[in-house]
Structure formats: structure tokens, C-alpha cells
């Protein structure tokens, strides 16, 4: 079974290489008094995105176990070289995570999501030690995301899995009328991301949106603005209908 993310990254099918242009999305810029700091964000990019997502789910829904469920499942099957099992390490880290978004909570969240797969970037969980600027930025990302989904919600579901044939998609947040993807990006959205969320839309029958707490911008798309030719191409080339 293939993930939508991997398929959309590899797609090279002319004449619909871009399928949906970022300019077709409506952009909403949001404003607050938070200030991001220059830090080691690039080094921790993968961990930052997942930690932001899971902490946001935790604060919105109130269940730490549900928010970090994927990490726990991965910890159960991840070997560890120390005398402790990966699950023991996971549980110890989870005990230090709370709703305060204090320094230890954010550090532990970055270490917990290590079990989801970023070992390709960090061979050992002990190597994950985000600096103060990165910790500050993650805290801001989470606060912004919680505020955004509270204002645009309520959130009716998180971490939803969509399947169509051999294709699988992971949906971050669903509100009453929109399927949202949370992406912590330095730049504006690209055609890879717009194709990804439009594929989710065709599988899940929702309006789609992308929220980026780093830029504090939301991007939304109404399927009625997309031509039938593009929709049929995506259904055929990616979803396989």
C-alpha cells in the first residue's frame, strides 16, 4: 500500500504535472504578537512538524495517549540498544509531557516522535536536544495551531486514515466543512502539497485546507473551482479510480 505523500512527490505525468497551482488556493494571513527566533529549526525540521502536530492534538482533544498513539505503536516495535526497552523510554518521556508547553514538555515531545521514523536523521534518541530558540518556536507553533483550529473549528476528528484501493492518506484535522493538513513550512505551499490535499479531498469529500503555523497562514480550496479534466486526471493517475 502506498501513501499519498510518497505518490504525489514522485508524480511526473504531463500535461498535469502541477495539477493544482498554489495560486488557486485562497490565502488567509493571521496575526499575533508572537516572535519566532533563529535557531536549529532546519536540523530538527521533521521532529518539529510532528511534535507541533501531536502537541496540538493533545491540547485540543485532551488525551495525551491518543495524540501520541502512533509514536507508542512504533515504540513497541523499535529495537533499542540500551538495557531499557523502547517502550519503557517512551513511557518515561510521556510522563514528562503536560499541557503547560514548558521546556521539558517540548523536549520530550521531540524525543517521543523520534519513534515515528526520524531515526534516519537522528541515529540515537539521545542526539535530540533542541536549542532554546527551537523550543520557543515549537511552543509558538502549537499555540498558534490551537488558536487557529479553535477559531475555525470545532475539530471533529484528528489523525484520520483514508483508504482507496492501494492508496492510503493520513488526515491531520477535520472540521465541519474542511479537511486540514498541518504543515510547518519555511516557504509558501508548493504544487506537491496542493496535489496532496486535493487527493485527500477526492478520497474524503471535504473542502481542503493547509495551515502553516510558522508563516501563520491558512490556504483553502473549493473543489468547485477545479476543472473536471484535472479531477479526472488525479482520480486516474493517483487514486486509481
pLDDT tens string 210-226: 999 999 999 998 877 88
**Share above pLDDT 90 across residues of the chain, in percent, rounded to a whole number:** 45
Q: What is the pTM for the complete model shown?
A: 0.85
Q: Give DSSP secondary structure letters for 90-130.
A: HHHHHHT--TT--HHHHHHHHHHGGGGSGGGT-SSGGG---
Mean pLDDT of 42-68: 93
Report the distance separating Cα 203 and Cα 160, nearest Å: 12
Mean pLDDT of 80-106: 88
pLDDT tens string 184-205: 999 998 877 777 776 766 665 5
pLDDT at 204: 59
User: Partners of 164 in the beta sheet?
Assistant: 167
pLDDT tens string 108-161: 999 999 888 755 556 788 889 999 999 999 999 999 999 999 999 899 888 776
Query: Is omega for the bond preceding 84 within 30 degrees of 0, making it cis?
Result: no
For the chain, the structural domain boundaries read: 1-30+155-241, 40-130
Query: Is omega for the bond preceding 14 within 30 degrees of 0, making it cis?
Result: no
- What lies within 8 Å, CB to CB, of 170 at 6+ separation is 3, 4, 159, 160, 161, 162
Amino acid at each position: 500500500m502506498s501513501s499519498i505523500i510518497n505518490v504525489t512527490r514522485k508524480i511526473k505525468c504531463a500535461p498535469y504535472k502541477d495539477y493544482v497551482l498554489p495560486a488557486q488556493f485562497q490565502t488567509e494571513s493571521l496575526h499575533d504578537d508572537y516572535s519566532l527566533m533563529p535557531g536549529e529549526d532546519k536540523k530538527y525540521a521533521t521532529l518539529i512538524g510532528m511534535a507541533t502536530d501531536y502537541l496540538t492534538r493533545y491540547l485540543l482533544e485532551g488525551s495525551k495517549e491518543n495524540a501520541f498513539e502512533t509514536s507508542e505503536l512504533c515504540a513497541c516495535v523499535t529495537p533499542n540498544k540500551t538495557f531499557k526497552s523502547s517502550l519503557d523510554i517512551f513511557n518515561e518521556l510521556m510522563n514528562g509531557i503536560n499541557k503547560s508547553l514548558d521546556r521539558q514538555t517540548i523536549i520530550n515531545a521531540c524525543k517521543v516522535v523520534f519513534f515515528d521514523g526520524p531515526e534516519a536523521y537522528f541515529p540515537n534518541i539521545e542526539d535530540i536536544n533542541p536549542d532554546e530558540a527551537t523550543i520557543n518556536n515549537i511552543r509558538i507553533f502549537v499555540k498558534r495551531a490551537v488558536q487557529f483550529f479553535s477559531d475555525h473549528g470545532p475539530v471533529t476528528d484528528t489523525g484520520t486514515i483514508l483508504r482507496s484501493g492501494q492508496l492510503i492518506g493520513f488526515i491531520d484535522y477535520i472540521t465541519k466543512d474542511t479537511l486540514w493538513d498541518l504543515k510547518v513550512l519555511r516557504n509558501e505551499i508548493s504544487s506537491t502539497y496542493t496535489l496532496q490535499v486535493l487527493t485527500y479531498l477526492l478520497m474524503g469529500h471535504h473542502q481542503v485546507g493547509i495551515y502553516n503555523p510558522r508563516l501563520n497562514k491558512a490556504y483553502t480550496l473549493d473543489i468547485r473551482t477545479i476543472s473536471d479534466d484535472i479531477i479526472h486526471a488525479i482520480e486516474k493517475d493517483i487514486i486509481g479510480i
